Structure 1
Amino acid sequence: MTDDSATRVASWRLLLSNPVTVVSVGVLAVVVLVTLTAGWIAPFDVNDVDVPNALQSPSGANWFGTDELGRDVFSRVLVGIQASLRVAVVSVAFAVVVGVGIGVLAGYFGGWLDAVFMRVVDVMFAFPVLLLALAIVAILGPGVTTTMLAIGIVYTPIFARVARASTLSVRLEPYVAVSRTIGAGHLYILGRHILPNIVGPLIVQTSLSLAFAILSEAALSFLGLGIQPPQPSLGRMIFDSQGFVTLAWWMAVFPGTAIFVTVLAFNLLGDGLRDVLDPKQRTMIEARRAS
């Protein structure tokens, strides 16, 4: 077995030895499964209005009860999770592509390119994430596409900084200098040496950003600027429950729990991946276990 193979095996063993990480992976697997099958497993149409059965408590017929219009909360939570995860994945994918591109180019070439890119990133960092997202949505108008774009834009600077910092470290490695000496082109060095060696921090940041993207989508939808009715959204469901907190607690508890569990699972997975992909963290954990 080669050194790289042995390292990968040891990393997987370390990851799977953490019960919290394993549980988070299991939870996220269920979330993904729900996302892929929500339209089929939801027992009711999410917009089926049944006013005579409004505000019914959880029962065998309606597992999570019904809302103020008699709609099945369980079905709406399933489809709401689907919508939130779709928005989070698309927006974070946008941030990864654009942010990593900016960060790698700035870190690798340096000079005026680094100065220009990083000043733009610094300006974006000057605004709170949610405030900047609100401004973008307010300008472009509410909706799913706008929400994806707004969240993607506000998380782009984070990936740009992570990619730049990692690139600055990797480009000083001897093997990069050797590649330059033998005449390797920039594209070859970026694809062969830089990108493969900065994947670890980016994977960790992606997991954490997915968690915050779900929260951002819920916040925008709660304010009426995200996913628009009649499409279910967990944030909008919590907003609609405000007038019925004492009468129908389930209207807020179940959507809120779905957000909490999903975000927590992504955060715990990010922590587990950091422990495995960060050599310093991995060494500390292995030393602690050996003692």
Structure 2
Amino acid sequence: MSATTEQTAEPTGRLSTVRVLATNPVTVVSAVVLAAVVVVALLAPWVAPYGVNAVDVANALQPPSAAHWFGTDDLGRDLFSRVVVAARVSLQVAVVSVAFAFVVGVAVGVVSGYVGGVVDTVLMRVVDVMFAFPVLLLALAIVAILQPGMATTMLAIGIVYTPIFARVARASTLSVRNEPYVQVARTMGVSGRSILGRHVLPNITGPLIVQTSLSLAFAILSEAALSFLGLGIQPPAPSWGGMLFAAQGFLSQAWWMSVFPGAAIFVTVLAFNLLGDGLRDVLDPKQRTLIESRRRR
């Protein structure tokens, strides 16, 4: 009966992780905000009351009102509709670019950390060369070589964030490679591919999940920066960075043109960062032990 009570009070596995996350109100609010942004982005064509490129010069630079919740821009386009559709564009760019960086970076990092030797040295020197360039500067160079657009933006952001995932995956693999169960699998003649798939990858997912959340935030910032410079999403497609670029000539005349796209970037990036902090606390064994002990008390 005592064992049953203890098992009920401290559930294991996935449910326990969810409950620990739920004890942090900041993480819960961040998850709710991100869920709302994702839902709005997915339903953007139905949520937007006007066409994103519906020009109405007679109503240009109108302040927020019941007809136009976020006001209108210099061409009379509804800002609320453009901000909503731009959320879909920004999330699409962020998810695709981070997925590319995740797949390539994790593959490089795991192979480098597990094989070691010359392979590790060569791969890490390539990663170090990429790290030598600032993220935005390297992305600008890639976009300058290729033609600006959504596909180029995804590729550029994916490339510049690949070394980060490679470093995280390599460091985690090095800590797992010498564990007893990995050594036993090697002694039994298990192939390297099986060891990586069954023992290494499942045990390095925690840091990678946290890095993914943080990278999504920085990918949104990078896309906004490239679009602001005219090298990202090209007009007339809406993007938060492009909307900020269009608003810079009307800062004193139409404050709403810059406030609402900027607020969308701020809220989304902050929510991703706070969610990443919450996941880090839960997936870190030491931090999770402290959180669970406080919860029991």
**TM-score of the two chains, using structure 2 as the length reference:** 0.95
Distance 2:53 2:13 in 1: 51
1:39 offset after TM fit, Å?
1.2
Q: Who is 2:34 aligned against?
A: 28
**Shift, 1:283, TM fit:** 2.1
Q: 1:242 aligns with which of 248, 252, 259?
A: 248
The separation in 2 between residues aligned to 1:113 and 1:7, in whole angstroms, is 36
Alignment pair present for 1:181 and 2:187: yes
Match of 1:90 in 2: 96
**1:49 corresponds to 2:60:** no
How far apart are 1:267 and its partner, in Å? Answer: 0.3
**1:282 and 2:288 are equivalent in the alignment:** yes
The within-5 A match list for 1:190-201 is 190-201=196-207
**1:287: how far off?**
4.2
Partner residue, 1:141: 147
Q: Which residue of 2 aligns with 1:172?
A: 178
State the 1:165 CA deviation.
0.3
**SS at 1:20 equivalent:** helix
Q: Map of 1:75-224 to 2, 5 A cutoff?
A: 75-224=81-230
1:266 and 2:272 correspond = yes
Query: Tell me, which stretches of 5 or more residues in structure 2 are unaligned?
Result: 1-6
State which of 71, 78, 102 in structure 1 corresponds to 2:77. 71
Partner Cα distance (1:12, 1:71) in 2: 42
Segments of 4+ moved more than 4 angstroms: 287-291
Show the 5 A alignment for 1:227-238: 227-238=233-244
TM-score (norm 1): 0.97
Query: For each residue in 1:213-252, what CA deviation from the matched residue of structure 2 results, as whole angstroms up to 9, or x when unmatched?
Result: 0000000000000000010010010010011111110000
Q: Distance in 1 between matches of 2:110 and 2:269?
A: 28
The count of aligned residue pairs is: 290
Counterparts of 1:99 and 1:150, CA distance in 2:
14
Distance 1:280 1:108 in 2: 25
- Which of 59, 63, 83 is the matching residue for 2:65? 59
Q: Give how far 1:13 is off.
A: 1.4
The Cα RMSD (Å) is 1.5
Segments of structure 1 that go 5 or more residues without pairing to the other structure are: none
